[in-house]
């Protein structure tokens, strides 16, 4: 009755939610159709008389900001949108509120579905609901990525309009200002206005450095930098064409390649995250089907072994889901939405007691272990500090140990409960038991429970004692008139149950296993850094190709020297940022020596060739002559870049498919096929043995 009431309640909640969604979509569509009219009315100072989606999202933003749990996600979205919208507070609030609202509309029905499917399994339901919190990040990142990709596509149209405006005004800043007045592309117009303000400021070089820190992608950095150099040093005619416009064309080609790369990555990975998650929702339906069709599997699925397989499947799904996300997002130019200034780890580390505990785990500065850890974090492009990393490691270790010990205790309790509640049958049954068989089995279980309670805690009880008390009918009268063979079989069964109840308690090796799991969890963040570093190595060729494009844009601009080129490479570098930064810092003490040190630190051959060309440009030949092959073989490099991107996407796709489909394989093989075959063969063997002994 309780399950039926819960089902009706969930159906009612689902129906109400569906009505709310339908009403919201209808009203939202109506509001969108008249959005432009309403905005004009607001500008004219008139009063809004009907519903406005603009006002709704602004009110929801304030509500989310006051809600503790939702506030974290709202601020995470806001940090990224604030960069895209450049000081437009109204639009930032609207978009952040809209994205979070859409996420809630997706997550809430999923949570209801999880509760309906798994309401009989509290542990599984709890783990699925906790895991759903991690999925929220996926939904949010996907929605914000759409805005990021939209801006990138707007940039291509923007650069096309810049070309026409530059032909008309022949001045960089005037061309940018003219195109920035276009209201059809508000996101790009804001970026153009910001770049225009940088160019006309009293200190354009300083303002440009500030813009580099907040630019939403590297292509806008390149555009702003090239525009500044052209404004300062003037434009040149190369082969009767403007050098500035040729550079714009180079940036446009880079953006087109990036858009194609993102589209292909999205297409390749669009369903892998969902496929990695689906097995979690299929655990309970598969269990119910197997038990209903083959009742001899009920002991496995409702017992300790079945629960262990469930937990392992959930952990494998969680790990595969995280790795799939890391694999897809690794090559993205999306901004980091994590609060790197004052996250919860930093607040926790300020506590003196907790700080002393964490410092005990952090290796001393200057040691080999400390340098190795720094290298791993740099290779993985981690924005965290070492202190934050160790806070994550220690807390994860403690949490996994506590959860493991708790789960071991729960597994013992589940086994004991199954002894007292599972129907007792003395033969294997194919299919589901009918009501008559189920009633007889439960009566036998209740009879056994009386003997179990009588001898519970007595570890020295023998089968002969149980047989004797059954014959005398001291506990119940079920076996007074039974034959000796029946009593012997019943006593043997009851003794097995008594031993199970008496021995199901926490063992020392289970605590040791919990410690082992804790140690594995402690090393988990380090292994994740190694995985990210390995995935970043796939991006080396793409980054060096971008270096070639940057050099191609700079080498024909007058007054550009090797030091300026190195500063640009440092600004756009990701994988090779550390060695290039050291080269820039050491450049004043000796250009040739600094470049030689850079050549020794990197092992990637295409980058070494660039460094050798820079060395030649320091003392021997002009920069344009040192890199003349970049201009003459531009089409070859473009084709090579496309082919490199295709190989990168194909390789990531292969790795992603292995990781993404692993939980599905584990579900069907490890949770359905193997238990079904093994238990079936074991039951068949027991049946044959029983038949043989009867003969």
Residue identified by tokens 């960069």 is 83
pLDDT at 377 over 50: yes
**pLDDT digit string (tens) for 226-237?**
888 888 888 888
Percent of the chain at pLDDT exceeding 90:
2
Lowest mean pLDDT among 100-109, 352-361, 482-491: 482-491
DSSP state of 557: S
Structural contact between residues 136 and 277, judged by C-beta atoms closer than 8 angstroms:
no
- SS (HEC) of 343-389: CHHHHHHCCHHHHHHHHHHCCCCCCHHHHHHHHHHHHCCCCCCHHHH
**pLDDT digit string (tens) for 301-352?**
877 778 888 888 888 888 888 888 777 764 443 444 454 555 778 888 888 8
Lowest mean pLDDT among 306-315, 531-540, 681-690: 681-690
For 495, residues 6+ apart whose C-beta sits below 8 A from its C-beta are 461, 462, 463, 466
The predicted structure's pLDDT at residue 397: 92
Report d(CA 209, CA 67) in Å as an integer.
Answer: 37
Structural contact between residues 136 and 177, judged by C-beta atoms closer than 8 angstroms:
no
For 580, residues 6+ apart whose C-beta sits below 8 A from its C-beta are 566, 569, 570, 573, 598
Residue identified by tokens 């432009």 is 36
For 339, residues 6+ apart whose C-beta sits below 8 A from its C-beta are 75, 76, 79
Lowest mean pLDDT among 371-375, 479-483, 543-547: 479-483
Q: How confident is the model at residue 431 (pLDDT cuts 50, 70, 90)?
A: very low
Report d(CA 422, CA 415) in Å as an integer.
Answer: 10
Q: How confident is the model at residue 522 (pLDDT cuts 50, 70, 90)?
A: very high
CB atoms within 10 A of CB 4: 8
Report d(CA 370, CA 386) in Å as an integer.
Answer: 9
Q: 242 — phi, psi (to 5°)?
A: -65, 130
Tokens of 359: 């410092």
pLDDT at 450 over 60: yes
Q: Is 111 exposed, middle or buried (0-12, 13-18, 19+ CB in 10 A)?
A: middle
Q: Which residue has the higher pLDDT, 109 or 281?
A: 109
- Run of H or E residues at 237: strand 237-238
pLDDT at 46 over 50: no
Which residues on adjacent β-strands are paired with residue 237?
A: 242
| Radius of gyration in angstroms for the set of CA atoms belonging to the chain, rounded to a whole number | 34
Q: How much is the average pLDDT of 350-374?
A: 86
CB atoms within 10 A of CB 45: 6
Q: How confident is the model at residue 627 (pLDDT cuts 50, 70, 90)?
A: confident
Tokens of 221: 């950095």
For 645, residues 6+ apart whose C-beta sits below 8 A from its C-beta are 257, 260, 261, 264, 542
Q: How confident is the model at residue 222 (pLDDT cuts 50, 70, 90)?
A: confident
Structural contact between residues 228 and 209, judged by C-beta atoms closer than 8 angstroms:
no
Q: How much is the average pLDDT of 139-158?
A: 83
Indicate the SS3 state at residue 242: strand
Q: Which residue has the higher pLDDT, 589 or 87?
A: 589
Q: How much is the average pLDDT of 528-542?
A: 77
Q: Is the pTM of this model over 0.75?
A: no
Query: Residues 91, 94, 95, CA angle at the centre, nearest 5°?
Result: 85
The predicted structure's pLDDT at residue 250: 85
Structural contact between residues 676 and 289, judged by C-beta atoms closer than 8 angstroms:
no
Q: Which residue has the higher pLDDT, 31 or 582?
A: 582
Could you give the angle at which helices 540-554 and 562-572 cross, rounded to 10 degrees? 140
**Measured torsion, CA atoms of residues 396, 402, 407, 408, in degrees rounded to the nearest 10:** 120
Q: How confident is the model at residue 477 (pLDDT cuts 50, 70, 90)?
A: confident
Residue identified by tokens 């660039």 is 610
Side-chain half-sphere exposure of 94, counting CA atoms within 13 A: 10
Q: How much is the average pLDDT of 624-652?
A: 78
Lowest mean pLDDT among 93-97, 101-105, 243-247, 495-499: 495-499
Percent of the chain at pLDDT exceeding 70:
85
Lowest mean pLDDT among 208-212, 327-331, 560-564: 327-331
pLDDT at 102 over 80: yes
Indicate the SS3 state at residue 241: strand
- According to the per-residue pLDDT averaged within each range, which of 50-54, 375-379, 592-596, 627-631 is highest? 592-596
Q: How confident is the model at residue 49 (pLDDT cuts 50, 70, 90)?
A: very low
Average pLDDT taken over every residue of the chain: 79
Which residues on adjacent β-strands are paired with residue 242?
A: 237
Indicate the SS3 state at residue 270: coil
DSSP 7-61: HHHHHHHHHHHHHHHHHHHHHHHHHHHTHHHHHHHHHTTPPP-S--HHHHHHHHH
Q: How much is the average pLDDT of 214-224?
A: 85
Q: How confident is the model at residue 30 (pLDDT cuts 50, 70, 90)?
A: low
- According to the per-residue pLDDT averaged within each range, which of 266-275, 498-507, 517-526, 671-680 is highest? 517-526
Report d(CA 352, CA 364) in Å as an integer.
Answer: 18
pLDDT at 430 over 70: no
The domain locations on the chain are 1-119, 340-536
Q: How confident is the model at residue 136 (pLDDT cuts 50, 70, 90)?
A: confident
The predicted structure's pLDDT at residue 88: 74
Q: 431 — phi, psi (to 5°)?
A: 90, -170
DSSP 393-454: HHHHHHHHHHHHHHHHHHHHHHHHHHHHHSPP-SS--SB---HHHHHHHHHHHHHHHHHHHH
Q: How much is the average pLDDT of 176-205?
A: 84
Residue identified by tokens 């940036």 is 251
CA proximity to 247, closest of 548, 553, 546, 551: 553
The predicted structure's pLDDT at residue 41: 52
The predicted structure's pLDDT at residue 20: 62
Report d(CA 135, CA 416) in Å as an integer.
Answer: 35
Structural contact between residues 152 and 217, judged by C-beta atoms closer than 8 angstroms:
yes
Q: How confident is the model at residue 295 (pLDDT cuts 50, 70, 90)?
A: confident
Could you give the angle at which helices 508-537 and 386-421 cross, rounded to 10 degrees? 130
Report d(CA 264, CA 646) in Å as an integer.
Answer: 9
pLDDT at 531 over 50: yes
DSSP state of 273: H
Residue identified by tokens 């434009």 is 235
Residue identified by tokens 């655990």 is 283
CA proximity to 389, closest of 422, 343, 434: 343
């Amino acid at each position: 009755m309780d399950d039926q009431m819960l089902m009706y309640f969930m159906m009612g909640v689902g129906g109400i939610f569906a009505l709310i969604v339908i009403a919201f979509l209808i009203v939202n569509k109506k509001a969108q159709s008249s959005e432009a009219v309403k905005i004009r009315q607001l500008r004219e100072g008139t009063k809004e008389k009907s519903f406005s989606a603009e006002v709704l999202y602004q009110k929801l933003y304030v509500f989310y900001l006051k809600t503790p749990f939702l506030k974290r996600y709202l601020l995470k979205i806001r940090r990224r949108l604030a960069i895209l919208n450049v000081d437009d507070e109204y639009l930032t609030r609207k978009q952040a509120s809209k994205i979070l609202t859409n996420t809630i509309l997706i997550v809430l029905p999923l949570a209801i579905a999880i509760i309906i499917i798994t309401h009989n399994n509290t542990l599984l339901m709890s783990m699925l609901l906790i895991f759903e919190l991690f999925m929220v990040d996926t939904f949010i990142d996907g929605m914000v990525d759409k805005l990021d990709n939209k801006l990138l596509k707007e940039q291509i149209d923007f650069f096309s309009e810049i070309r026409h405006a530059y032909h008309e005004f022949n001045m960089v800043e005037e061309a940018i200002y003219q195109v920035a007045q276009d209201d059809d592309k508000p996101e790009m117009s804001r970026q153009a206005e910001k770049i225009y303000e940088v160019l006309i400021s009293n200190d354009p070089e300083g303002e440009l450095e500030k813009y580099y820190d907040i630019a939403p992608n590297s292509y806008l950095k390149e555009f702003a930098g090239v525009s500044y150099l052209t404004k300062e040093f003037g434009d040149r005619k190369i082969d009767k064409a403007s050098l500035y416009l040729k550079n714009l064309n180079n940036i446009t080609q880079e953006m087109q390649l990036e858009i194609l790369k993102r589209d292909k990555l999205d297409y390749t990975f669009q369903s892998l995250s969902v496929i990695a998650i689906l097995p979690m929702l299929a655990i309970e339906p598969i269990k119910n089907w197997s038990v209903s069709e083959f009742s001899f599997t009920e002991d496995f699925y409702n017992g300790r072994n079945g629960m262990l397989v469930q937990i392992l499947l959930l952990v494998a799904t969680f790990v595969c889901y995280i790795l799939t996300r890391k694999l897809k997002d690794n090559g993205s130019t999306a901004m980091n939405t994590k609060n790197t200034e004052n996250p919860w780890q930093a607040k926790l580390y300020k506590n003196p007691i907790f700080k002393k505990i964490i410092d005990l785990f952090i290796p001393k500065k200057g040691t080999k272990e400390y340098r190795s850890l720094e290298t791993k974090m740099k290779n993985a492009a981690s924005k965290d500090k070492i202190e934050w990393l160790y806070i994550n490691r220690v807390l994860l270790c403690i949490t996994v140990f506590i959860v493991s010990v708790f789960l071991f205790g729960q597994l013992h309790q589940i086994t004991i409960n199954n002894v007292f509640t599972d129907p007792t049958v003395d033969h294997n049954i194919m299919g589901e038991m009918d009501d008559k068989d189920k009633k007889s089995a439960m009566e036998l279980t209740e009879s056994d429970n009386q003997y179990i309670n009588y001898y519970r805690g007595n570890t020295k009880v023998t089968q002969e004692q149980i047989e004797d008390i059954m014959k005398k009918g001291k506990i119940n009268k079920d076996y007074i008139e039974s034959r000796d063979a029946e009593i012997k079989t019943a006593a043997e069964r009851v003794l097995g149950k008594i031993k199970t109840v008496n021995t199901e308690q926490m063992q020392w090796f289970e605590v040791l296993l919990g410690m082992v799991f804790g140690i594995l969890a402690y090393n988990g963040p380090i292994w994740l850094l190694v995985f990210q570093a390995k995935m970043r190595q796939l991006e080396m060729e793409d980054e060096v190709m971008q270096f070639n494009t940057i050099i191609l844009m700079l080498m024909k601009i007058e007054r550009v020297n090797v030091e300026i080129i190195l500063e640009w490479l440092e600004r756009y570098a990701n994988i090779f940022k550390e060695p290039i930064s050291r080269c820039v810092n050491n450049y004043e003490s000796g250009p040739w020596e600094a470049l030689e040190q850079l050549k020794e630190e990197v092992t990637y051959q295409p980058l070494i060739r660039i460094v050798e060309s820079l060395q030649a440009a320091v003392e021997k030949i002009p920069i344009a002559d040192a890199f003349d092959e970049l201009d003459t073989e531009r089409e070859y490099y473009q084709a090579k870049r496309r082919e490199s991107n295709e190989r990168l996407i194909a390789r990531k796709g292969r790795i992603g498919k292995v990781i993404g489909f692993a939980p599905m394989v584990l579900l069907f093989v490890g949770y359905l096929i193997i238990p079904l075959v093994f238990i079936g063969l074991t039951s068949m063997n027991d049946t044959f043995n029983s038949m043989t002994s009867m003969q």
